[in-house]
Amino acid sequence: MKVEVVLTEADIAQEFAEAMQARDLPEKFFFWSPRSAMAWTELTKEPGLYGGLGETWTSIAGGAGALAQHFGRRVPVISFGAGDGARDRVLMAALKGAGCECLYYPVDASQAMLETACAGADDEDYETTGIKADISSPVHLVYCADAAEPPRLFIMSGNTISAFDPLAEIRYVAQCMHGGDRLIVDGELYHETRTMARRDNAAARKFIFATLSGVGIESDDGEVRFNHKRDERHEGLHLMTRAFRAARDLSATVGGEDVSLERGETIGLNFQYTYTPQSFRWLLREQGGLQILEEYSSADGRFLTAICKK
Ligand SMILES: C[S@@+](CC[C@H](N)C(=O)[O-])C[C@H]1O[C@@H](n2cnc3c(N)ncnc32)[C@H](O)[C@@H]1O
Protein backbone atom coordinates (compact mmCIF):
# COMPACT_ATOMS: atom_id res chain seq x y z
CA MET A 1 0.00 0.00 0.00
CA LYS A 2 1.45 3.35 -1.02
CA VAL A 3 0.48 6.45 1.00
CA GLU A 4 2.00 9.92 0.76
CA VAL A 5 1.68 11.97 3.91
CA VAL A 6 1.14 15.72 3.69
CA LEU A 7 -0.88 15.94 6.90
CA THR A 8 0.93 14.04 9.66
CA GLU A 9 -0.66 12.39 12.69
CA ALA A 10 1.28 14.85 14.87
CA ASP A 11 -0.33 17.77 12.94
CA ILE A 12 -3.81 16.32 13.45
CA ALA A 13 -3.23 15.62 17.14
CA GLN A 14 -2.07 19.22 17.64
CA GLU A 15 -5.07 20.59 15.69
CA PHE A 16 -7.44 18.37 17.65
CA ALA A 17 -6.10 19.70 20.98
CA GLU A 18 -6.47 23.29 19.68
CA ALA A 19 -9.98 22.58 18.37
CA MET A 20 -11.05 21.20 21.76
CA GLN A 21 -9.65 24.31 23.46
CA ALA A 22 -11.61 26.45 20.97
CA ARG A 23 -14.74 24.29 21.58
CA ASP A 24 -15.17 23.74 17.86
CA LEU A 25 -14.53 20.34 16.22
CA PRO A 26 -14.52 20.31 12.43
CA GLU A 27 -15.42 17.36 10.22
CA LYS A 28 -12.03 15.69 9.89
CA PHE A 29 -11.86 14.74 13.57
CA PHE A 30 -15.02 12.64 13.28
CA PHE A 31 -13.21 10.13 11.04
CA TRP A 32 -9.76 10.36 12.58
CA SER A 33 -9.48 7.58 15.17
CA PRO A 34 -9.92 3.94 14.15
CA ARG A 35 -12.95 3.90 16.48
CA SER A 36 -14.53 6.87 14.67
CA ALA A 37 -13.77 5.30 11.29
CA MET A 38 -15.45 2.07 12.45
CA ALA A 39 -18.47 4.07 13.65
CA TRP A 40 -18.64 5.71 10.21
CA THR A 41 -18.55 2.29 8.54
CA GLU A 42 -21.46 1.27 10.79
CA LEU A 43 -23.35 4.46 9.94
CA THR A 44 -22.93 3.91 6.19
CA LYS A 45 -24.90 0.66 6.61
CA GLU A 46 -27.96 2.77 7.51
CA PRO A 47 -29.98 2.93 4.27
CA GLY A 48 -31.16 6.43 5.23
CA LEU A 49 -27.64 7.89 5.32
CA TYR A 50 -27.21 8.38 1.60
CA GLY A 51 -30.63 7.34 0.29
CA GLY A 52 -30.65 7.34 -3.50
CA LEU A 53 -27.05 8.51 -3.97
CA GLY A 54 -25.87 4.94 -4.65
CA GLU A 55 -28.24 4.70 -7.63
CA THR A 56 -26.96 8.03 -8.93
CA TRP A 57 -23.44 6.60 -8.99
CA THR A 58 -24.68 3.54 -10.86
CA SER A 59 -26.14 5.94 -13.46
CA ILE A 60 -22.91 7.93 -13.64
CA ALA A 61 -21.04 4.64 -14.11
CA GLY A 62 -23.52 3.81 -16.88
CA GLY A 63 -22.24 6.89 -18.72
CA ALA A 64 -18.58 5.87 -18.30
CA GLY A 65 -18.25 5.39 -22.07
CA ALA A 66 -18.45 9.16 -22.66
CA LEU A 67 -15.94 9.85 -19.87
CA ALA A 68 -13.63 7.17 -21.29
CA GLN A 69 -13.80 8.82 -24.69
CA HIS A 70 -12.89 12.17 -23.16
CA PHE A 71 -9.95 10.87 -21.13
CA GLY A 72 -8.48 8.27 -23.45
CA ARG A 73 -6.63 5.22 -22.15
CA ARG A 74 -5.33 6.51 -18.80
CA VAL A 75 -7.57 8.27 -16.26
CA PRO A 76 -6.10 9.72 -13.08
CA VAL A 77 -8.95 9.62 -10.53
CA ILE A 78 -8.35 11.98 -7.60
CA SER A 79 -10.99 11.67 -4.90
CA PHE A 80 -11.08 14.43 -2.28
CA GLY A 81 -12.39 13.05 1.03
CA ALA A 82 -12.50 9.55 -0.48
CA GLY A 83 -13.74 7.78 2.67
CA ASP A 84 -13.79 4.03 2.00
CA GLY A 85 -13.60 4.75 -1.76
CA ALA A 86 -16.59 2.50 -2.50
CA ARG A 87 -18.32 5.09 -4.69
CA ASP A 88 -15.10 5.78 -6.59
CA ARG A 89 -14.67 2.08 -7.30
CA VAL A 90 -18.15 1.84 -8.86
CA LEU A 91 -17.10 4.39 -11.45
CA MET A 92 -13.58 3.02 -11.88
CA ALA A 93 -14.97 -0.46 -12.59
CA ALA A 94 -17.11 1.04 -15.36
CA LEU A 95 -14.17 3.03 -16.74
CA LYS A 96 -12.10 -0.14 -16.73
CA GLY A 97 -14.90 -1.90 -18.59
CA ALA A 98 -14.78 0.93 -21.16
CA GLY A 99 -11.09 0.20 -21.75
CA CYS A 100 -9.47 2.77 -19.42
CA GLU A 101 -6.67 2.25 -17.00
CA CYS A 102 -7.48 4.16 -13.80
CA LEU A 103 -4.69 5.58 -11.65
CA TYR A 104 -6.33 6.11 -8.31
CA TYR A 105 -5.43 8.82 -5.77
CA PRO A 106 -7.77 8.71 -2.77
CA VAL A 107 -7.21 11.76 -0.54
CA ASP A 108 -8.30 11.78 3.09
CA ALA A 109 -7.22 13.17 6.45
CA SER A 110 -8.04 9.89 8.17
CA GLN A 111 -5.34 7.23 8.02
CA ALA A 112 -7.94 4.55 8.75
CA MET A 113 -10.26 5.66 5.92
CA LEU A 114 -7.34 6.04 3.55
CA GLU A 115 -6.11 2.52 4.29
CA THR A 116 -9.61 1.20 3.58
CA ALA A 117 -9.82 3.08 0.26
CA CYS A 118 -6.32 1.96 -0.79
CA ALA A 119 -6.91 -1.67 0.22
CA GLY A 120 -10.23 -1.75 -1.68
CA ALA A 121 -8.57 -0.38 -4.82
CA ASP A 122 -5.47 -2.61 -4.45
CA ASP A 123 -7.79 -5.63 -4.24
CA GLU A 124 -9.31 -4.62 -7.57
CA ASP A 125 -5.85 -4.12 -9.10
CA TYR A 126 -5.89 -0.35 -9.58
CA GLU A 127 -2.58 1.42 -9.40
CA THR A 128 -3.20 3.37 -6.19
CA THR A 129 -1.44 6.09 -4.24
CA GLY A 130 -3.26 7.34 -1.16
CA ILE A 131 -2.60 10.92 -0.09
CA LYS A 132 -3.10 11.90 3.54
CA ALA A 133 -3.91 15.58 3.32
CA ASP A 134 -6.31 18.26 4.50
CA ILE A 135 -8.74 19.10 1.74
CA SER A 136 -9.78 22.32 3.46
CA SER A 137 -6.29 23.64 2.72
CA PRO A 138 -5.83 25.18 -0.77
CA VAL A 139 -2.13 24.29 -0.61
CA HIS A 140 -2.84 20.63 0.16
CA LEU A 141 -5.48 20.49 -2.59
CA VAL A 142 -3.01 21.77 -5.19
CA TYR A 143 -0.42 19.25 -4.00
CA CYS A 144 -2.95 16.42 -4.39
CA ALA A 145 -4.10 17.62 -7.80
CA ASP A 146 -0.49 17.76 -8.97
CA ALA A 147 -0.10 14.05 -8.22
CA ALA A 148 -1.10 13.48 -11.86
CA GLU A 149 -0.93 15.38 -15.14
CA PRO A 150 -4.17 16.77 -16.60
CA PRO A 151 -6.67 15.70 -17.78
CA ARG A 152 -7.76 14.33 -14.40
CA LEU A 153 -11.06 13.20 -12.98
CA PHE A 154 -11.72 14.81 -9.60
CA ILE A 155 -14.39 13.42 -7.31
CA MET A 156 -15.96 14.96 -4.22
CA SER A 157 -18.82 12.70 -3.21
CA GLY A 158 -21.13 11.95 -0.30
CA ASN A 159 -21.93 15.61 0.44
CA THR A 160 -18.26 16.02 1.40
CA ILE A 161 -18.04 19.61 0.15
CA SER A 162 -20.83 20.56 2.54
CA ALA A 163 -18.83 19.95 5.71
CA PHE A 164 -16.70 22.98 4.80
CA ASP A 165 -17.64 26.50 3.82
CA PRO A 166 -18.79 25.38 0.36
CA LEU A 167 -18.29 28.84 -1.16
CA ALA A 168 -14.60 28.77 -0.29
CA GLU A 169 -14.13 25.04 -0.87
CA ILE A 170 -15.49 25.03 -4.42
CA ARG A 171 -13.15 27.91 -5.28
CA TYR A 172 -10.17 25.99 -3.89
CA VAL A 173 -11.12 22.86 -5.83
CA ALA A 174 -11.74 24.85 -9.02
CA GLN A 175 -8.32 26.50 -8.65
CA CYS A 176 -6.78 23.03 -9.05
CA MET A 177 -8.61 22.37 -12.32
CA HIS A 178 -7.30 22.77 -15.85
CA GLY A 179 -9.10 22.71 -19.20
CA GLY A 180 -9.55 18.95 -19.73
CA ASP A 181 -10.19 18.08 -16.08
CA ARG A 182 -13.61 16.99 -14.88
CA LEU A 183 -15.13 17.22 -11.42
CA ILE A 184 -17.97 15.05 -10.12
CA VAL A 185 -19.46 16.70 -7.06
CA ASP A 186 -22.71 16.19 -5.19
CA GLY A 187 -24.78 18.16 -2.71
CA GLU A 188 -27.72 17.19 -0.53
CA LEU A 189 -30.94 19.07 -1.21
CA TYR A 190 -32.76 20.70 1.67
CA HIS A 191 -36.17 19.42 2.76
CA GLU A 192 -38.13 21.20 5.47
CA THR A 193 -38.63 18.15 7.70
CA ARG A 194 -36.57 15.27 6.34
CA THR A 195 -33.18 17.01 6.34
CA MET A 196 -33.25 17.44 10.11
CA ALA A 197 -34.82 14.01 10.76
CA ARG A 198 -31.94 12.37 8.88
CA ARG A 199 -29.47 14.01 11.27
CA ASP A 200 -31.27 14.21 14.60
CA ASN A 201 -31.48 10.49 15.33
CA ALA A 202 -29.91 7.72 17.43
CA ALA A 203 -27.59 6.40 14.70
CA ALA A 204 -26.08 9.87 14.09
CA ARG A 205 -25.64 10.43 17.84
CA LYS A 206 -23.82 7.10 18.14
CA PHE A 207 -21.42 8.22 15.38
CA ILE A 208 -20.78 11.55 17.14
CA PHE A 209 -20.10 9.90 20.49
CA ALA A 210 -17.53 7.55 18.94
CA THR A 211 -15.34 10.67 18.68
CA LEU A 212 -16.41 12.40 21.91
CA SER A 213 -15.94 9.26 23.98
CA GLY A 214 -12.34 9.17 22.73
CA VAL A 215 -11.73 12.22 24.96
CA GLY A 216 -13.84 10.89 27.82
CA ILE A 217 -17.18 12.56 27.02
CA GLU A 218 -20.00 10.02 27.13
CA SER A 219 -23.63 10.26 26.06
CA ASP A 220 -24.86 10.74 29.65
CA ASP A 221 -22.50 13.73 30.14
CA GLY A 222 -24.73 16.02 28.11
CA GLU A 223 -26.77 16.24 24.94
CA VAL A 224 -26.22 16.85 21.26
CA ARG A 225 -28.45 19.59 19.89
CA PHE A 226 -29.15 20.11 16.21
CA ASN A 227 -30.02 23.40 14.61
CA HIS A 228 -30.96 24.78 11.22
CA LYS A 229 -29.77 28.18 10.00
CA ARG A 230 -29.89 29.99 6.72
CA ASP A 231 -26.63 31.25 5.30
CA GLU A 232 -27.56 34.78 4.27
CA ARG A 233 -24.77 35.00 1.70
CA HIS A 234 -27.12 33.41 -0.81
CA GLU A 235 -30.75 32.33 -1.03
CA GLY A 236 -31.16 28.56 -0.61
CA LEU A 237 -28.05 27.76 1.46
CA HIS A 238 -29.16 25.82 4.55
CA LEU A 239 -26.70 25.12 7.33
CA MET A 240 -27.39 22.17 9.62
CA THR A 241 -25.34 22.53 12.80
CA ARG A 242 -24.87 20.36 15.88
CA ALA A 243 -23.36 21.05 19.25
CA PHE A 244 -22.65 19.11 22.43
CA ARG A 245 -23.93 20.81 25.60
CA ALA A 246 -22.46 19.67 28.93
CA ALA A 247 -25.11 18.70 31.49
CA ARG A 248 -22.59 19.15 34.33
CA ASP A 249 -18.98 20.16 34.91
CA LEU A 250 -16.77 17.79 32.93
CA SER A 251 -13.16 17.05 32.30
CA ALA A 252 -12.12 15.78 28.87
CA THR A 253 -8.64 14.38 28.24
CA VAL A 254 -7.00 15.45 25.01
CA GLY A 255 -3.47 14.24 24.26
CA GLY A 256 -2.87 13.67 27.97
CA GLU A 257 -4.02 17.21 28.91
CA ASP A 258 -7.22 17.95 30.82
CA VAL A 259 -9.77 20.23 29.18
CA SER A 260 -12.43 21.42 31.62
CA LEU A 261 -15.97 22.06 30.47
CA GLU A 262 -18.41 23.86 32.70
CA ARG A 263 -22.03 22.84 32.95
CA GLY A 264 -23.96 24.47 30.09
CA GLU A 265 -20.82 24.97 27.96
CA THR A 266 -21.05 23.82 24.36
CA ILE A 267 -18.67 22.32 21.81
CA GLY A 268 -19.54 23.07 18.20
CA LEU A 269 -19.51 19.84 16.19
CA ASN A 270 -19.19 19.24 12.47
CA PHE A 271 -21.84 20.96 10.36
CA GLN A 272 -23.33 20.26 6.96
CA TYR A 273 -24.74 22.51 4.30
CA THR A 274 -27.75 21.48 2.27
CA TYR A 275 -29.09 23.32 -0.77
CA THR A 276 -31.91 24.14 -3.07
CA PRO A 277 -31.15 22.92 -6.63
CA GLN A 278 -30.72 26.57 -7.66
CA SER A 279 -28.27 27.38 -4.89
CA PHE A 280 -26.18 24.26 -5.62
CA ARG A 281 -25.95 25.24 -9.30
CA TRP A 282 -25.11 28.82 -8.25
CA LEU A 283 -22.34 27.47 -6.02
CA LEU A 284 -20.74 25.54 -8.86
CA ARG A 285 -21.20 28.19 -11.54
CA GLU A 286 -20.81 31.50 -9.75
CA GLN A 287 -18.48 30.57 -6.88
CA GLY A 288 -16.51 27.82 -8.61
CA GLY A 289 -16.58 29.36 -12.09
CA LEU A 290 -17.47 25.88 -13.37
CA GLN A 291 -19.63 24.76 -16.25
CA ILE A 292 -22.13 22.01 -15.48
CA LEU A 293 -21.94 19.42 -18.27
CA GLU A 294 -24.35 16.91 -16.80
CA GLU A 295 -26.62 16.77 -13.84
CA TYR A 296 -28.01 13.75 -12.00
CA SER A 297 -30.91 14.01 -9.58
CA SER A 298 -31.11 10.99 -7.26
CA ALA A 299 -34.31 8.96 -7.64
CA ASP A 300 -35.43 10.01 -4.14
CA GLY A 301 -34.82 13.66 -5.03
CA ARG A 302 -32.34 14.02 -2.20
CA PHE A 303 -29.02 14.59 -3.95
CA LEU A 304 -27.95 16.59 -6.94
CA THR A 305 -24.73 15.41 -8.59
CA ALA A 306 -22.98 17.37 -11.31
CA ILE A 307 -20.21 16.61 -13.75
CA CYS A 308 -18.37 19.88 -14.26
CA LYS A 309 -15.54 21.37 -16.21
CA LYS A 310 -13.73 24.66 -15.83
C1 LIG B 1 -18.87 12.21 4.43
S2 LIG B 1 -17.46 11.23 4.15
C3 LIG B 1 -17.65 10.89 2.42
C4 LIG B 1 -16.81 9.75 1.94
C5 LIG B 1 -16.93 9.35 0.48
N6 LIG B 1 -16.49 10.39 -0.41
C7 LIG B 1 -18.33 8.91 0.12
O8 LIG B 1 -18.84 9.35 -0.91
O9 LIG B 1 -18.89 8.08 0.84
C10 LIG B 1 -16.21 12.50 4.21
C11 LIG B 1 -14.76 12.01 4.11
O12 LIG B 1 -13.93 13.19 4.07
C13 LIG B 1 -12.85 13.05 4.98
N14 LIG B 1 -12.51 14.39 5.48
C15 LIG B 1 -13.23 15.21 6.29
N16 LIG B 1 -12.60 16.36 6.49
C17 LIG B 1 -11.43 16.28 5.79
C18 LIG B 1 -10.34 17.17 5.61
N19 LIG B 1 -10.34 18.38 6.17
N20 LIG B 1 -9.32 16.76 4.82
C21 LIG B 1 -9.33 15.52 4.25
N22 LIG B 1 -10.34 14.64 4.38
C23 LIG B 1 -11.37 15.01 5.15
C24 LIG B 1 -13.35 12.15 6.08
O25 LIG B 1 -12.27 11.50 6.75
C26 LIG B 1 -14.28 11.20 5.30
O27 LIG B 1 -13.58 10.07 4.87
CA of 82, closest atom in ligand 1: 6
pLDDT digits (tens, 9 = 90+) for 281-304: 999 999 999 999 999 999 999 999
Q: How far is CA 217 from CA 36, 124, 211, 270, in A?
A: 14, 39, 9, 16
Please write the tens of the pLDDT for every residue from 252-291: 999 888 999 999 999 999 999 999 999 999 999 999 999 9
Residue 132 has a pLDDT of 98
- At 293 the pLDDT is 98
Q: What is the pLDDT of residues 216-252, one digit of tens each?
A: 999 999 999 999 999 999 999 999 999 999 999 999 9
- The response to whether residue 158 sits with its C-beta less than 6 Å from ligand 1 reads yes
106 lines ligand 1 (CB under 6 A): no
**Domain chopping of the chain, boundaries:** 3-22+49-190+275-309, 194-274
Among the atoms of ligand 1, which is closest to the Cα of residue 26? 16
Question: What is the spatial distance between Cα 98 and Cα 166, in angstroms, rounded to a whole number?
Answer: 33
Give the distance (Å) from ligand 1 centre to CA of residue 249. 32
CATH 3.90.79.10 correct for 3-22+49-190+275-309: no
Residue 39 CA to residue 171 CA, distance in Å, equals 31
- Out of 32-41, 42-51, 189-198, 216-225, least confident range: 42-51
